Amino acid sequence: MAMMIKETRCVGCSACINECPNDAISEQSFAFAIDPAKCTECIGFFSEPQCAAICPIPKTCIINPDVPRYAAAV
Amino acid sequence: MELGGLKTIAQLRVMQPAHSRSGQPGCGSNSASGQSSCGSAAGQGDLTPEIWEKVKNHPCYSEQAHHHYARMHAAVAPACNIQCNFCNRKYDCSNESRPGVVSERLTPEQAAKKVLAVASAVPQMTVLGIAGPGDPLANPEKTFKTFELVARTAPDIKLCLSTNGLMLPDYVDRIHALNVDHVTITINMIDPVVGAKIYPWVFYNHKRYTGVEGARILSERQLLGLEMLTARGILCKVNSVMIPGINDRHLVAVNKAVKSRGAFLHNIMPLISAPEHGTVFGLAGQRGPTAQELKALQDSCEGEMKMMRHCRQCRADAVGLLGEDRSAEFTAEKIMSMDVVYDLDRRQAFQEKVELQREAAAAAMKSELETLAGKHSNISILIAVATKGGGRINEHFGHAKEFQVYEVGTAGAKFVGHRRVDLYCQGGYAEEDSLETVVRAINDCVAVFVARIGGCPRDGLIAAGIEPVDRFALEYIEQSAITYFREYLERVRTGEIRHTQRGDADIRQGALTA
């Protein structure tokens, strides 16, 4: 799995991009987005996904259900 | 859509905590206890020459300066590291004027160009503040890069920042090295139990801390940061949001704590919590203070240190005199196509003229005050004033977006606050009768000084017990207030009028149209 950002909820504040240890977040035209190939849910870095921990809007940075589980998490 | 790396409001929709509000410090008002002074027309008052030099042209640190000098905020800092119950990051009304709201955010390079453009068009602009729309120190690279660029291209502009304080201890040395000599910290509590009711969480050391634990970290970091700044001689103002029933009484203890750590000025601001803002407090029905509740708290703290009363809680991209906003003239799109020539000589010449005006106003106040010499009375009154700046009564009643409030007694006239009266933005319609709005906002005032006023509002004000006064049109505010007061005492003595205590007044809560 990886994290994802719900585009309709993102306010574009950019807080997540500064915290991502994998450089997986980029600015898209209407919101920020996470590259699932780069995201590790912060496993191996921190105790919780940093994007979700700093995001000001609840339920915006969530687990991406469409992506296979990150290998190290299994 | 993307405009050269900058976002429009449609994407941004960011807003931020009260702390980043503009409010910078102001040397506040003159105090009944004789504590403060830079609020007085005399200017320097009891400030040391070093501090006076730092604040005399800073609209946010000097009440007196705010009548003459302008500031600008550069919205380069969108990210925040804490959550406040008085803030809603989703709000997107571009007409709203309150802290944390911006129409577009800028890169440091765009911000530096904007500073030059504004400094050329508005020669009385003396201060660049970075105040959000998030927290400047949650965006340290953008914030410091902006300061570096501006220090190179516009060396006469004072730099300041406004922060929630969480990351302050880590950046004090950098702030000092960049000659940022004014810092505002928003401190709403020193007791984490109180803090837990204001801050749902803080993000610190890669972890989200909630409740009392989060508030304790925030409080410790804020007070440590304040001590470190004052130890380096950096002028600090503390902003506090007054939240009735949550921290209103506690703010007296906050006032003592920040004073003992060397804060220069304390700015207690009313909570803004209209339900339509969608903040936790707004949705929960948490009310803000009334004008007299706010004034009573400010007065009770004033014996301890200088209190700021002229904060307009402005947007993180505001431009102009406090109380006005010219940011629409300087959008990123416009400034990028402007051909800017930075003319330091012209700016200095303009500012010299402003200084002459200030001196003339102070001299007029002083000579008028002499006419009250020997008179002693327990009577004091509040007077509302329509002004466009410059220390004069120079605004038409119907055009005023705010009224400045002066308290006048035999000791003199002092600025004690301001009342916004522009219309609510509710689905784009102003639904209220505007005269009623004004009456509610200045209901505690005996008179309102204006440059002109129409017949209809004149009658309405008289019916509400507020005397409309246009005979001081274009005169100096404080001098006129003392003249009026002297005559008021005489009218009371002869029995022409009876002096009674006026009631309370409202603080505007709604979203505002600029």
Is B81 in Cβ contact with A54 (below 8 Å)?
yes
Neighbours of A44 (CB within 10 A): 11
B38 plus B99 within the same structural domain: yes
| Chain B contact set for A58 (CB, 8 A) | none
Interface test with A, best of B6, B15, B89 (most A CBs within 10 A): B89
Are A29 and B1 an interchain contact pair (Cβ–Cβ within 8 Å)?
A: yes
Q: Give the separation between CA B163 and CA A53, rounded to whole angstroms.
A: 20
B127: enclosing H helix or E strand: strand B125-130
Regarding whether B315 and B401 lie in a shared domain, the answer is no
- From B512's Cα to the closest Cα of chain A, the distance in A is 21
- Predicted pLDDT at B483: 94
Q: How far is residue B312 CA from its own chain's centroid?
A: 3
Q: What are phi and psi of B84, to 5 degrees?
A: -120, 140
Average pLDDT over residues B269-291: 88
Distance from C-alpha of B426 to C-alpha of B437, rounded to nearest angstrom? 15
B208 touches chain A (CB under 8 A): yes
Half-sphere exposure of B327 (CA within 13 A, CB side): 27
The answer to whether B445 and B419 are in contact (CB under 8 A) is no
Contact B207 A30 (CB under 8 A): no
pLDDT, mean of residues B166-190:
95
Please state at what angle helix B455-463 crosses helix B434-441, rounded to 10 degrees.
40
Give the minimum alpha-carbon distance from B196 to chain A in angstroms, rounded to a whole number: 17
- Domain final position from B296, B331, B366: B331
Least confident of A18-27, A63-72, B106-115, B393-402: A63-72
Q: Do B206 and A19 touch (CB under 8 A)?
A: yes
Q: What is the pTM of this model?
A: 0.80
CATH number for A2-68: choose from 3.40.50.720, 3.40.109.10, 3.20.20.10, 3.30.70.20. Answer: 3.30.70.20
Asked if residue B315 is part of any domain, the answer here is: yes
Question: B243 with B285: CB under 8 angstroms?
Answer: no
Q: Are A14 and B79 in contact (CB under 8 A)?
A: yes
Rounded distance between C-alpha atoms, residue B482 and residue B491, angstroms: 14
**Where are the alpha helices (H) located in B261-343, listed in sequence order?**
280-284, 291-302, 332-337
Answer yes or no: do B83 and A56 touch at CB < 8 A.
yes
Among the listed ranges B51-55, B154-158, B364-368, which one has the minimum average pLDDT value? B51-55
Same domain, B314 and B353: no
Residues 6+ apart with CB under 8 A from B95: B425, B511, B512, B513, B514
Q: Which of A5-14, B1-10, B83-92, B248-257 has the weakest average pLDDT? A: B1-10
Mean pLDDT of the region B72-90 = 89
Answer whether residue B241 shows pLDDT above 60: yes
Same domain, B266 and B411: no
B36-40, B154-158, B199-203: which has the minimum mean pLDDT?
B36-40
Judge whether residue B236 has pLDDT over 70: yes
CB–CB of B89 and A46 under 8 A? no
- Domain-terminating residue out of B331, B365, B395: B331
Residue B8 pLDDT greater than 90, yes or no: no
The interaxial angle of helices B140-153 and B168-177, nearest 10 deg, is 10
Measuring CA to CA, how many Å separate B229 from each of B137, B184, B195, B258?
Answer: 14, 10, 23, 12
Contacts of B133 in chain A (CB under 8 A): 13
**CATH, residue B368:** 3.30.420.130
Parallel, antiparallel, or unpaired: how do β-strands A32-34 and B381-385 relate? unpaired
Q: How does pLDDT run across B294-330, given as a tens digit for each residue?
A: 989 998 888 767 788 777 676 667 777 776 777 778 8
At B98, the pLDDT band (50, 70, 90 cuts) reads very low
**Residues of chain A whose C-beta is under 8 A from some C-beta in B?**
11-15, 18-19, 29-31, 45-48, 50, 53-54, 56-57
Q: What is the mean pLDDT of residues A7-27?
A: 92
In this structure, are B321 and B187 located in the same domain?
Answer: yes
When pLDDT is averaged across residues B385-408 and rounded to a whole number, the result is 90
Does the pLDDT of residue B428 top 60, yes or no? no
**B318 within 8 A of B130, measured Cβ to Cβ:** no
* Residue B64 in this model has a pLDDT that exceeds 90: no
Backbone φ and ψ for B512, nearest 5 degrees, come out as -115, 145
Per-residue pLDDT, averaged over B193-220, amounts to 97
Residues B317 and B350 in one domain: no
Map B467-510 to HEC letters: EEECCCCCCEHHHHHHHHHHHHHHHHHCCCCCCCCCCCCCCCCC
Whole-angstrom Cα Rg for chain A? 11
* Percent of chain B residues past pLDDT 90, beyond the cut: 43
Flag whether B437 is in a domain.
yes
Give the CA angle between residues B153, B140, B115 to the nearest 5°. Answer: 25
Measured between beta carbons, which residues in chain B are less than 8 angstroms from residue A47? 206-207
Size of interface A-B (CB pairs under 8 A): 58
pLDDT in tens, A23-71: 999 988 778 999 999 999 999 899 999 999 999 999 999 999 888 766 5
**Do both B180 and B47 map to the same domain?**
yes
Chain A contact present for B203, CB below 8 A: yes
Taking residues B435-442, report their average pLDDT. 87
Residue A69 confidence (pLDDT): 66
Please tell me the distance from the alpha carbon of residue B79 to that of residue B135, in angstroms, as a whole number: 6
